Amino acid sequence: MTALMFTLISLGIIMALLQMVLMGTKMSASQKTYRNSLEASYGGVELVAKEIIPQLFGNYSNGSRALNSTFGSSSQISLSLSASLKDKLAKDTNNWPSTANKIPDAKISPDMTFKLAGTNGNFMVYNKVVDTVTGNSDVSGRDLDPGIGVAGSGSGIAPKHSPHLITIEVQGERETNPKEKAMLSVLYAY
């Protein structure tokens, strides 16, 4: 009877240890899939912040043509822009057209969508502008020498800089399994 009790107790301990090992393996796998989606989302933020938005400020139609020619023939990135993106980037949120979707879910009516090709599968990245506060940023595209006011050749009087603020929701997910996703909120100042 005592041997049977010790066997039952040791079997219980072994089953508990086995359950803990299995749960650790599942948690590790879920962290890996989340990290892949998170990296795709970060890549989407980098692409939007460094390539897409700077080209769209100033002259939107020239910028969108340049983006389509750059990314249209690429097999690594395929980009699509929404029709309301121009108004969302240039106007305050209160002045957006009624057709602009303000729901803060990046996957519902996204403004910028692109597919990032990866070695373990492709990722879809959805970007949506959800809020814009216009500032006095120079969007002409001309780079001015920042030392003009200091050197004395400029007027020396400049308005206080108030940046153009854009809030962007980003969602990156695996193309074959939308449950593997990561969401980010980004405040972009231009």
Contact 172, 124 (CB under 8 A): yes
Please tell me the predicted confidence (pLDDT) of residue 148: 53
Tens of pLDDT, residues 114-131: 888 777 788 889 999 899
Averaged pLDDT score across all residues of the chain: 81
Please tell me the predicted confidence (pLDDT) of residue 75: 58
Please state which of the ranges 48-62, 73-87, 105-119, 125-139 shows the lowest mean pLDDT: 73-87
Please tell me the predicted confidence (pLDDT) of residue 11: 94
Please tell me the predicted confidence (pLDDT) of residue 109: 85
The answer to whether residue 94 scores a pLDDT higher than 80 is yes
Contact 114, 79 (CB under 8 A): yes
Please tell me the predicted confidence (pLDDT) of residue 117: 79
